[in-house]
Amino acid sequence: MVHSVEMLFDPDTEAAIRSCWDDLTEAGVRSQAAHTAPSNRPHVTLVVAESMDESVHDALRPLLRRLPLRCTVGAPMLFGRRDFTLVRLIVPSAELLSLHSEVLDACLPHMPNGPLPHSDPGQWTPHVTLARRVPAEQLQAALTVTGLGRDLSATIVRIRHWDGNAKREYAL
């Protein structure tokens, strides 16, 4: 498993994204709504690593002053080649890219093996996941769900550390 540092949305944005999850489910696409763990919520992953020690919390706390952060949930995108991950782009503003860089710098001393490559500046694609393992034959149904084509004004209000090994979240 992995560790990650993630940004969480305000209640209105979270509700709007959860509504997209529900709309996908109604269209017959298995969305993130199927994951009922209390820690499953819409989020934007900033940094991913094989391991990250808990001392990262103290390093990240000063960055909370950067919140709230306004952003735009933009176009739908697909990751993958056979089964796809359906996401919505978080439009990469200068402020968002700067925060990403600061979070990565704060995390580096707490990740013995460094970040996974897709976390690096220039490789990172800010997004919120809507559905994983979508088969090609469901893409049309998924991409025609009402609301996926409209930008959503959003606010990021929290940062958390997710320990995938222990299945535990640490709200900062």
- What whole-number distance in Å separates Cα of residue 164 and Cα of residue 172? 16
Query: How high is the pLDDT of residue 87?
Result: 97
- pTM strictly above 0.85: yes
Q: pLDDT tens-digit profile of 64-95?
A: 999 999 999 999 999 998 899 999 999 999 99
* Per-residue DSSP letter, 40: -
Please report which helix (H) or strand (E) contains residue 6, including its range. strand 3-9
Q: Predicted confidence band at 58 (pLDDT cuts at 50, 70, 90)? A: very high
Average pLDDT score over the chain: 94
The alpha carbons of the chain give a radius of gyration, in whole angstroms, of 16
* CA-based torsion, 110, 112, 115, 120: positive or negative: positive
Q: pLDDT tens-digit profile of 135-152?
A: 999 999 999 998 888 899
